[in-house]
Amino acid sequence: MALWFECRIRYDKMMENGTVKKVNEPYLVDALTFTDAEARIIEEQTPFISGEFSVAAIKKTNIAEVFYKDGCDKWWSVKYNIIIPDEKSGKERRTPVYVMVQANTQQGATDNFNEGMKGTMADYEIEKVAETKIMDVYPYSPK
């Protein structure tokens, strides 16, 4: 199971109008530890950033899974509830789960999520689909 960290990179970015602006961009990294997450985000971002940059923050997330979709440039956070019937009380128990979905629109994110959940035996309901500021997602890949 992946352990996802949100890493924030701070650097000077050349804007389209030619001005330089200090930006703080979030990325999602699959890593084992905070140290590993820092090393991986530095390795991934070094080719794309000219000049100096720093890792401003790293925090562990509650993301359970990531659904990728080629040709899409936005990342959406989907909160869904797994519905589990309680045999003793007869009531339904809902367990929240968070996933990241790559899509261009909110409807596309919902569709990509449902596509990724095909074949799931558990009953679930989508509670929330929200666009994030995540710039990119870096899954673990062995060297």
Q: Is the pTM above the cut of 0.85? A: yes
Q: Which of 83, 78, 73 is nearest to 128 (CA)?
A: 78
| Tokens coding 127 | 């509670």
Gap between the Cα atoms of 82 and 94, Å rounded: 5
CB 143 within 8 A of CB 94: no
Confidence at 141, pLDDT banded by 50, 70, 90 = confident
pLDDT in tens, 88-107: 888 889 999 999 999 999 99
Gap between the Cα atoms of 106 and 110, Å rounded: 6
For the segment 75-90, the average pLDDT, to the nearest whole number, is 91
| Residue 11 falls in which region: left (phi positive, over 0), alpha (psi -120 to 50) or beta | beta
pLDDT for position 129: 97
CB 78 within 8 A of CB 98: yes
